Amino acid sequence: MLYNFIKKIDKKIHFSTVSAHCDIPCKIYDPIIAQLAVLTMIRMVDLLDEFKNKNEMSINDHATFSRLVAQKESHGKQVKDEITVIWGDFIKTPQLEKYPELHELVHSIMLVTSSVKQHIDKNTALDLLDKVNRFAEIYWQCKGVNTYTAVCPYPPAQPVIYPALTQ
Amino acid sequence: MSFLGLKIWKVTGHSMFPRIPQHSYILSWHWYAINKIKPNQTILIDHPEYGLLIKTVAIIDKNHFIWCKGENLSSISVEKLGPVSKKQIIGRVLKVFIKPHNVTSITLHK
């Protein structure tokens, strides 16, 4: 109960964070999880948009609608989780000095993700993908890995930043 | 935001698991850190390379430098973390608040 109370306060005033930094598992970071989550959100928006053309909703339609909204919600949470973990655990002073836009970018990702969760708006979802792609681009640049942009070979067929890994 | 040296922090990372899981909240007291630091105390340190860390005191050497450790194998090693001076300690952990499905809270007596 006390934890939940503190958590509610945290949501209002945002306590400072302290890192229980670890070496072995925490070096495994990859923004692709966040990128896939955004693509899922866009796909869910596309599928939800199809309901606009329906005059009547059957029970099955209602069930499908609910499932799509739930997926959009959960993947929005995943976007936030993945981005904040990389931002909080991987990004440090050298990266911030090189990419001073990072704090603003991460904050705007949080805000736009909330907006995509709240609405069924393709443009906002695409805006989120742009921001998360930019975050991924910066991440790979920090790792010294070149990137390229390609349209993902599955719906929603949007441009995604990929690392140009070599053998 | 602190009050009389007391401050609540949110923990990120897994090196203090299982005692302090990720996303736990902790209550630290800055003035408490002025007292003698002893092994097994949980402290907050301002590390020159890793930033603000929560760690457990492993040993205090004869030069009064403090060597810290995590609570599991995934933590940065004591050697890699290196020694810190008392000036780098920004507080001692008084209480840990863990997610309800684990434990409500843990009081640190060490």
Residues in a beta bridge with B47: B51
Count: domains in chain B: 1
CB contact under 8 A, B13 and A20: yes
Confidence of residue A158 (pLDDT cuts 50, 70, 90): very high
Nearest CA in chain B to A22: B75
Chain B hits for A95, Cβ within 8 Å: none
Confidence of residue A26 (pLDDT cuts 50, 70, 90): low
Confidence of residue A25 (pLDDT cuts 50, 70, 90): low
Domains within chain A, CATH numbers bracketed: 28-52+62-153 (1.20.120.400)
Question: What is the predicted pLDDT for the residue at A49?
Answer: 96
- Mutation pick from A18, A83, A93 vs chain B, by most beta carbons of B within 10 Å, is A18
Question: What is the predicted pLDDT for the residue at A122?
Answer: 97
CB contact under 8 A, B76 and A22: yes
Residue type, A76: G
Domain containing B41: what range? Answer: 2-107
Q: What is the CATH number of the domain that holds B9?
A: 2.10.109.10
- For residues A139, A109, A107, B15, the Cα torsion angle rounded to the nearest 10 degrees is -50
pTM over 0.80? The answer is no
Instruction: Check if B2 contacts A (Cβ < 8 Å).
Output: no
pLDDT by residue for chain B (110 residues), tens only, comes to: 677 789 999 998 888 888 888 889 999 988 765 668 889 999 999 988 888 999 999 999 988 899 998 887 767 778 888 899 988 999 999 999 998 765 544 555 44
For residues A23 and B76, the answer to whether their CB atoms sit within 8 Å is yes
CB contact under 8 A, B8 and A6: yes
Does position A102 have pLDDT exceeding 70, yes or no?
yes
| Interface predicted TM-score of the whole assembly (ipTM), two decimals | 0.78
